[in-house]
Amino acid sequence: MTTAISIPLEHVFFLAIILFLIGAFGVLVRRNIIFMLLSLEIMMNACGLAFVAAGARWAEPDGQIMFMFILALAAAEVAVALGLVVQLARRFETLDIDRAEELNG
């Protein structure tokens, strides 16, 4: 069974690269921590897309399994990071990441 698609693998990789770089650009430009986390999600999605494309090229399930591991990683990361966002908002009453530059408990 196929989906009647016929595209070069490089095109999918280029899409993954572009999405990854958009995410990286977002992490570098934004100061609001919520937008930085959102950009990280875009970056992780791009990595997952590259894995799924490579798995689809050889018609093997391994690519999808790597995507599932990335998904578990993203879920864990978002849970902890949003807890940190809430703490940051409570203590400093801002979401500016530059305010959290001091490492004291």
Partner 1 sequence: MSLSSLLFYVSAAVAITTAIMAVTRKNASHALIYLVVTLLSIAVIFFLLGAPFAAALEIVIYAGAIVVLFLFVVMMLNLGRSSVARESQWLRPGMWVLPAILSGVLFIVFGYTVLQTENSATIQGHVVPPKAVGITLFHKYLLGVELAGVLLLAALVGAFHLGRRYLEERRED
| HSE value, Cβ hemisphere, 13 Å, CA-based, for 18 | 6
Nearest distance from residue 93's CB to partner 1, in Å? 10
Residue 4 in contact with partner 1, rule: CB under 8 A:
yes
Q: Which x/- pattern over 24-63 shows residues binding partner 1 (rule: CB under 8 A)?
A: xxx-xxxxx-xx-xxx-xx--x--xx--xx-xxx-xxxxx
DSSP 26-84: HHHH--BHHHHHHHHHHHHHHHHHHHHHHHHHTT-THHHHHHHHHHHHHHHHHHHHHHH
The interface with partner 1 within residues 75-94 (CB under 8 A) comprises: 75-80, 82-87, 89-91
Residue 101 in contact with partner 1, rule: CB under 8 A:
no
Residue 71 in contact with partner 1, rule: CB under 8 A:
yes
